[in-house]
Amino acid sequence: MGPNVSRVESVCSLVTAEITLLQITHGPVYVIQLAGQIAIPALQMSFSTYDFGHCFVYQAGMSVKTVQLKLTNADDKDLMYVSLLC
């Protein structure tokens, strides 16, 4: 299977929001303004789909089917944090 490059052209923005987040006991209440912007990076994956074939419910002593998915930063900027949900 050849490499797959996932690219998203859009940029997501958080409109400035005022949120009361911090109150000091017997002290002031601070209102914090949040604003942000994020661009989804281009990640190159060693494959985009994988067929494990027939799999059975695991019982002690059975072999475990595994495969290694390699992610490579294909963007021109460094990544600070990547989270994958599988």
- How far apart are the C-alpha atoms of 42 and 74, rounded to whole Å? 5
pTM: 0.46
**Pair 34, 13: CB distance under 8 Å:** no
At 54-72, the pLDDT tens digits run 888 888 998 888 888 888 8
Residues 78 and 39: beta-carbon distance below 8 Å: no
Spatial contact of 42 and 74, defined as CB atoms under 8 Å apart: yes
pLDDT one-digit tens code per residue, 17-67 = 667 668 888 888 888 777 777 777 788 888 888 888 888 888 899 888 888
pLDDT of residue 6: 46
Cβ neighbors of 83 (< 8 A, separation 6 or more) are none
What single letter denotes the amino acid at residue 47?
Answer: F
